[in-house]
Amino acid sequence: MADLSINFAGIRAPNPFWLASGPLTNTAYQVMKAFDEGWGGAVWKTVGEPIINVSSRLGSLDYGGRRMMGLNNIELISDRPIEENLAEIREVKRRYPHHAVIVSMMFEANPAVWRDMVHRVEDTGADGIELNFGCPHGMSERGMGSVVGQVPEYTERITRYAVEAASIPVIVKLTPNVTDIRAPGRAAVAGGAHALSLINTINSVMGVDLDTWRPIPDVDGRGSHGGYCGPAVKPIALHMLSSLYNDPRVTVPLCGIGGIETWRDAAEFLLLGAGVLQVCTAAMHYGFRIIHELTEGLNDYLDQRGIARVEDLVGQAAPRIGDWNDLRLSYSFQVVARIHADQCIGCNLCYIACDDGAHQCIERVPGETAPRVREEDCVGCNLCSLVCPVPGCIEMVPMEKGPVETWRMRERRLKTAP
Amino acid sequence: MAIPVDQPPQFAEVVPPLTPREAEEEALRCYYCYDAPCIKACPTNIDIPRFIHHIVTGDLKASARTILDANILGATCARICPTEALCEGHCVRTHDSRPVSIGRLQRVAMDYAMTQGVPALPPRPRHGSGRVAIVGAGPAGLGAAAELLRAGYQVEIFDRREEGGGLDTYGIVSYREPVAVSLFEVNMVRQLGAKMHLGETVDAPRIRALQRDFDAVIVAVGLGKVPRLAIPGEDLAGVYDALDFIEATKVGDFGAFPVGERVAVIGAGNTAVDAATCAKRLGASEVTIFYRRGEEAMSAYRYEYEFAKQDGIRYQWWAQPVAILGTQRVNAVRFSRTRVDGPVTSRSAPVQLVEGSEWTVPVDTVIRAVGQEKTLELWSALGCRVADGRVVVDPETYETSVAGIFAVGDCLARPGEATVVQAVEDGKRAARAIDRMLSEKSAR
Ligand SMILES: Cc1cc2nc3c(=O)[nH]c(=O)nc-3n(C[C@H](O)[C@H](O)[C@H](O)COP(=O)(O)OP(=O)(O)OC[C@H]3O[C@@H](n4cnc5c(N)ncnc54)[C@H](O)[C@@H]3O)c2cc1C
Ligand SMILES: Cc1cc2nc3c(=O)[nH]c(=O)nc-3n(C[C@H](O)[C@H](O)[C@H](O)COP(=O)(O)O)c2cc1C
Ligand code: SF4
């Protein structure tokens, strides 16, 4: 059995799986039920001046017969009175002293308000604070949420209000609705943040009902941009996570959020630098019970690789992601598609993909099932192997083509050339 | 004699394993229901959505662990459970499509455990300590043993056969369940710490002696031989007990029961189908199942019936043997037409012979497949209360009227519902009752 416990910016938890701030963490009932199922921590539904919600609030992107590959919401922060939330947080912390209870907060940009609220939150015994600078809808139109996260100076300033008042760790939750995540990340660190979490939801419009021309989700015939999350957003989250992890100016631990559904997703986030993981959509879809598969699967993975502690996984793959300029150019290194004819089922998807969408280097051979790659023309883009329905049938074979040279090296060479 | 695990091709397992791609696609068809009806329909309550979800995420080890945690005979059950009556019959996808192939997915995980190693099972809470003797190493005995061992009890299992597994090893035809699968499961229980005493027949006095040495005794002896037909000619050469006949094919003794060309199988349950399809595989050209009632009353599962028909087995309904003819070896059977007083679907409506309807069918072999005898002598010798031809047990604890003696599995003789999965569940429940009993004792 591997050791799944973690110490994240001084916050300890029995495992790295926390529920993300959202409808799963609205009440003590839910959070305690989740802890009983095995979740290691929870970030309380963002506490602030109570709001009024609309209905309906959620929209789903279904794909290939499967539900909720992506989820969109126009829900705001907690609609419950602050006192009620704080009383329940206190109760949860009293009953579950060894689980991580983090309180997500969102208030107007007023230092006095922050000082007062941080003290009231700390008084509950909570282990940490998460600043919600991320919600892209509703709150942003009132000067909170993602409008803070999109302007580095605001991020730094409000982070400082909270950090100066707090004696427990302050995590800043970033919005992905920016051009370069490093700007708000660095600003939060400059403001004193003890950790960053990301991503919050992505601005999106889910769709239109083709019969009624009403938007999805539909609030009495009207819609609005909402926050997108779920399995579909994972690649965006992984990009932002790794770029912060690899940024020398971001010196604090990172909490990975966005599209985590299985232990495999979790392992990828850990490898790219997440010290803790938060889950929202997957648990909304299937319930708290998925924690069993998450912990069991992650544990089996660590055991199988002989890794004793989950913390030993954190960031292991991140150094492999960097600038395009540092990748070997194709005259130095490339991969070449090779079709294993014995495994080919004759669907011709690779042929048409290469012919129409790539570089016209797959040929059909009369009388034979398997098409053939003209290897000398193949640029090694991967497309054929991605469309091939048979795993392993199209292999991308690495080829050393010349001395190691990247774009950066090439530029340097050409500049210094006589 | 050690049982050979390699079988001739016609006895090789008929249902192929799912390919990895098939398994992935099938697993993705599962909706991952909450409080799923399939779980409730499984007598051992395997967490089916969870083991399937583990397959989706590629963690076959966790999938196998989930199954074995609930049912130590998961590998047998993956193959021979009547799934359309159990889990698959209750799958929500019967409403919008076809049910998820739960049995075959279970086999994917179990094949992984058989080839890649059995995952450590989550420990059970330890409440008490003590020693438990189990008589019978069939599904019921193994189910009880695994549960007790995981809760920290010492377990010794006694069986009169050379190998454990009961009917899984000796009675289920190998093209439905290879012997290796059953022996793998016996070995799993051994690895959990069971001490096996094989080749030891345990009678009533011995059970009483075991009671002195152990804190509890579980009797899981199954049922007996196929009953005699009580008609003339039954002792002729070529008249076989279906279980002996099937067993010979399982232990690799294919010449023990020569079948000739024409075979008559008497009875129309699952055992009859197994015996008939075995006879076909041994070279008989014409195999007919004779049943004294109509098709409507047949106890074989639908898939068994289909399997028989695909194998070219013929059926003769409303036919009861009245005499077996021959001088040294059987050469014909005399049948009489029958009718029932009452509904044709009933298996208990009295059967009447139709006068003057007799006819003779030339055959080389007769196989009796009309159920299994009950083991009532054992229970009366032990002084256990018996009613309706079966030993009486407490429905919660499976304890007989003699304190400290528990009965599980087929020997409870619930007609028509004998399944491996129910036998395992009986064993688990008795084990839990013993755990409660012994932990109260330790607490005192
Ligand atoms: C031909 C056939 C096909 C079947 N097909 C299916 C199927 O497809 N699906 C399904 O679910 N079920 C099937 N069954 C039923 C299933 O095999 C039984 O329900 C199951 O094996 C019962 O388990 P058990 O442990 O109670 O008894 P058994 O499997 O009979 O095991 C009893 C054990 O006790 C031992 N024993 C008996 N007396 C003594 C003694 N005095 N001393 C020591 N040891 C003793 C025996 O040697 C045996 O090992 C089939 C049965 C038969 C006969
Ligand atoms: C309905 C809904 C409500 C949410 N509410 C909040 C919130 O109040 N505060 C917050 O910080 N994030 C909120 N989120 C965002 C999630 O915490 C999380 O960052 C996002 O959903 C990405 O994770 P996922 O892909 O696992 O869902 C909400 C998400 C959803 C779907
Ligand atoms: S999940 Fe369904 S029942 Fe529950 S609040 Fe939402 S709309 Fe209502």
Write the secondary structure of A152-181 as one string of H (helix), E (strand) and C (coil): HHHHHHHHHHHHHHCCCCEEEECCCCCCCC
**Same-domain check for residues B244 and B364:** yes
**Per-residue pLDDT, B1:** 54
Task: Report the b/e string of B272-283 with b at 16+ CB within 10 A.
Answer: bbbbbbbbbbbe
Here the CATH number for the domain that contains residue B332 is 3.50.50.60
The pLDDT tens digits for B287-345 are 999 999 999 999 899 899 999 999 999 999 999 999 999 999 999 999 999 999 989 99
Q: How far is the CA of A151 from the centre of ligand 1 (A)?
A: 73
Q: Any alpha helices (H) in A5-151, and if so which ranges?
A: 28-37, 82-95, 111-122, 146-149
The CA distance from A368 to A346, in Å, is 9
B423, B143 Cβ separation under 8 angstroms: yes
Q: Among candidates B134, B192, B132, which has minimal Cα distance to B158?
A: B134
pLDDT in tens, B269-278: 999 999 999 9
- Mean pLDDT of the region B35-56: 98
pLDDT per position as a tens digit, A249-279:
999 999 999 999 999 999 999 999 999 999 9
The reply to whether B362 and B379 lie within a common domain is no
Based on the fold, state whether residues B47 and B106 are members of the same structural domain: yes
> Which of B326, B348, B368 corresponds to the end of one domain?
B368
Mean pLDDT of B414-438: 92
In a domain, B188, yes or no: yes
Number of separate domains in chain B:
3
What are the C-alpha distances in Å from B25 to residues A389, B46, B105, B110, B403?
A: 12, 21, 10, 18, 51
Nearest to A293 among B34, B54, B61 (CB): B54
Chain A positions touching B57 (Cβ under 8 A) are 262-264, 293, 297
Query: How far is Cα A80 from Cα A87, in angstroms, rounded to an integer?
Result: 12
> Which of A285, A293, A305 to mutate: most B Cβ within 10 Å?
A293
Domain annotation covers residue B104: yes
Q: Are residues B198 and B315 in the same domain?
A: no
pLDDT of the residue at B6? 74
Average pLDDT of every residue of chain A: 96
Q: How far apart are CA B367 and CA B373, in angstroms?
A: 16
Q: Is residue B230 part of a domain?
A: no
Residue pair A186/A249 in contact by the 8 Å Cβ criterion: yes
A333 and chain B: CB distance < 8 Å anywhere? no
Residues B258 and B355 in one domain: yes
Asked if the Cβ–Cβ distance from B21 to A390 is below 8 Å, we say yes
Looking at residue A102, its pLDDT comes to: 98
pLDDT at A147: 83
> Do B23 and B100 belong together in one domain?
yes
* A236 has pLDDT over 90: yes
Task: Quickly count: other Cβ atoms within 10 Å of residue B238's Cβ.
Answer: 20
Are residues B285 and B268 both part of a single domain? yes
Q: What's the pLDDT tens digit per position in A304-326?
A: 999 999 999 999 999 999 999 99
Kindly report which listed range (A349-353, B5-9, B298-302, B367-371) carries the lowest average pLDDT score. B5-9
Q: Answer yes or no: do B344 and B389 share one domain.
A: no
- The SS3 call for residue A109 is coil
How far away, in angstroms, is A202 Cα from ligand 3 center? 23
Structure tokens at B132: 């438990």
ipTM: 0.91
What ligand has the least distance to the C-alpha of B174?
Answer: 1
Are residues B59 and A300, on separate chains, in Cβ contact within 8 Å?
yes
Per-residue pLDDT for B53 more than 70? yes
Q: Does one domain contain both B272 and B316?
A: yes
pLDDT digits (tens, 9 = 90+) for B117-140: 999 999 899 888 999 999 999 999
Q: Is some CB atom of chain B closer than 8 A to the CB atom of A249?
A: no
Say how many Å lie between the CA of residue A200 and the centre of ligand 2: 6
Confidence of residue B415 (pLDDT cuts 50, 70, 90): low
Question: What is the SS3 assignment for A367?
Answer: coil
Known catalytic membership, residue A381: no
* Alpha carbon of residue A148 to chain centroid: 20
Q: What is the structure's pLDDT at B407?
A: 98
Using DSSP's 3-state secondary structure scheme, residue A214 falls into coil
- In which domain, by residue range, is B399 found? 131-224+374-443
- Among the candidates B368, B384, B405, a domain finishes at B368
Q: Which two tokens stand for residue B41?
A: 């329909």
Predicted pLDDT of residue B375: 83
Are B351 and B260 in contact by the 8 Å Cβ rule? The answer is no
- Same domain? For B15 and B93 the reply is yes
Domains of chain A with bracketed CATH: 6-320 (3.20.20.70), 328-416 (3.30.70.20)
Q: What is the pLDDT, as a whole number, of residue B389?
A: 86
The DSSP 8-state label assigned to residue A17 in this structure reads E
Evaluate if residue A50 carries a pLDDT over 80: yes
Helix (H/G/I), strand (E/B), else coil: B114? helix
Q: Is the pLDDT of residue A30 over 80?
A: yes
Q: What is the band of B4 on the pLDDT scale with cuts at 50, 70, 90? A: confident
A148 confidence band (pLDDT: 50, 70, 90): confident
Chain A residues lying within 8 Å of B58, measured CB to CB: 264
Hey, what's the torsion of the CAs at A217, A221, A222, A223, to 10 degrees?
10
Q: What pLDDT does residue B416 have? A: 65
In the structure, which protein residues have their CB atom closer than 6 angstroms to any atom of ligand 1? Answer: B 80-81, 135-141, 158-161, 166-167, 171-172, 201-202, 220-222, 243, 246, 270-271, 274, 409-411, 418-421, 423
pLDDT, tens digit (0-9, with 9 covering 90-100), for A153-195 = 999 999 999 999 999 999 999 999 999 999 999 999 999 999 9
Residue B425 belongs to some domain of the structure: yes
For A36-48, what is the mean pLDDT? 97
CA dihedral for B243, B248, B254, B258, sign (positive or negative): negative
- Ligand 2 neighbours, Cβ below 6 Å, are A 20-23, 45-46, 71, 73, 75, 77, 104, 132, 134-135, 173, 200-201, 229-230, 233, 257-260, 279-282
- Please return the burial class of B397, using the count of CB atoms within 10 Å of its CB with bins 0-12, 13-18 and 19+: middle
Q: For ligand 1, atom 23, which residue shows the shortest CA distance?
A: B139
